[in-house]
Amino acid sequence: MSEKVFFADVTAHRASADALFARVESRLRTLLPPALIEHVGSTALPDGLTKGDLDVQVRVHADAFDDACRILALEYACNPGGFTDGGRSVKDDDTTPQLGVHVTAIGGSSDIQYWQRDLLRARPDLRAEYDAVKRTFDGGDMTAYREAKDHFFSSLVTRSDQVEIVDYDPRWPAMFEEEAARLRATLPDVLAVEHFGSTAVPNLASKPIIDILVIVSALATESRVKHLASLSYVFWEGNPKKDRLFFVKGMPPFGPRRTHHVHVTEPSGELVERLLFRDYLRAHPVDGEVYVALKRELAGKHRLDREAYTEAKSALVLEIMRKARRAT
């Protein structure tokens, strides 16, 4: 017989879930002092429906992941259904409510539960949508519900990482300076840190993402990935451009939205020339207006497809680059 799933109002489980989390958190901090311990799942939300169990996410750095899993396997029962790339689950079915503990490597592919919680806490409309999924399967098959739940959260990643063009924000230069200071303090062997891209051009509308160019004497991929992970950046390992390293902060499902892009390259890298693009638009606002008009049009057409958006504006970018080279 298939397992059934039932839901109740989260307020009916709030007190018991909070009390159990306090006890579990204390124990986990003893077992894994450096870990980040998060109350996740539906009992961590302000309202809505829940199965009533307590979900706890234990976030550790990648080099501590195997040890954390080994330690928790001595404390709790294995939950084989919770094994994913970069994630492991253990459980205790004898607690009230029942307990699930999910170990994830920070920045790994499974490090998403805290982000799901934060997004749902901030968005009552999404909580209502999630509850509608639960009502559909209340009293029904657990496996079918889990599939529908996975589809719902997968859709949130796509919807939360849309292309958006906003008016110029005068806070952008200060946001760059703050992040540049963190990068200089964290990364060794930095030759220069430059604010580039559209947020570096006064009065130019842009995606609200600070693009930062870090010029180093050598890429040293492994070292850069480790250092930037400490600042919550995720590395794009599949980047076909081998003269640079690309990192993103805040990209779903590792955050509610992208806030910073960091591009690491050597002095001879192709990206260094893109500083001409920034400088040209700073000096030629009419060309900037043409560029903004195209970006707004393309963002409307390709809101859910960043690659299509980037490709569609590439011809104008190349044209502006040709003007910038002639102007130097």
How do residues 272-294 score in pLDDT, each as one tens digit? 999 999 999 999 999 999 999 99
| Whether 176 and 320 share a structural domain | yes
Same domain, 315 and 222: yes
pLDDT at 1 over 70: no
Of 108, 138, 160, at which residue does a domain stop?
160
Q: Based on the domain organization, do 183 and 120 belong to the same domain?
A: no
Q: What total number of domains does the chain contain?
A: 2
Burial class (CB in 10 A: 0-12, 13-18, 19+), 80: exposed
% of the chain with per-residue pLDDT over 70: 98
67: domain CATH number is: 3.30.460.10
Domain span at residue 202 reads: 172-327
Looking at the structure, do residues 59 and 27 belong to the same domain, yes or no? yes
Mean pLDDT to the nearest integer, 1-30: 94
240 in the same domain as 206? yes
Residue that is written with structure tokens 């993402």 in the block: 209
DSSP per-residue string spanning 87-141: EEEEEETTSSS-EEEEEEETTSTTTTHHHHHHHHHH-HHHHHHHHHHHHHHTTSB
Mean pLDDT on 129-134: 96
pLDDT tens, residue by residue, 183-237: 999 999 999 999 999 999 999 999 999 999 999 999 988 899 989 988 989 888 8
Specify whether the CB–CB gap between 51 and 6 falls below 8 A: yes
What is the mean pLDDT of the segment spanning 297-323? 92
Q: How far is CA 7 from CA 14, 15, 268, 296, in A?
A: 14, 17, 59, 43
Residues 139 and 280 reside in one and the same domain:
no
The pLDDT value recorded for residue 81 is 67
Q: Which helix (H) or strand (E) holds 234?
A: strand 233-235
Higher pLDDT, 30 or 107: 30
Residue 315 lies in a domain: yes
Q: Is residue 167 one of the residues assigned to a domain?
A: no
Indicate if 141 and 258 belong to the same structural domain. no
What is the per-residue pLDDT for 250? Answer: 87
3 state SS of 32:
coil
Do residue 176 and residue 321 come from a single domain?
Answer: yes
Instruction: Report the distance separating Cα 265 and Cα 303, nearest Å.
Output: 29
pLDDT tens-place string over residues 82-116: 666 668 999 999 999 999 999 998 877 788 898 88
Q: What is the pLDDT of residue 148?
A: 94
Whether residues 25 and 87 share a domain: the answer is: yes
Regarding whether 250 and 177 lie in a shared domain, the answer is yes
Average pLDDT value for the chain: 92
- 99 neighbors 56 (Cβ within 8 angstroms): yes
Is residue 257 helix, strand or coil? coil
- The answer to whether the CB of 38 falls within 8 A of the CB of 56 is yes
Q: Residues 72, 190: one domain?
A: no
Examine the pLDDT at 70 and tell me if it is beyond 90.
Answer: yes
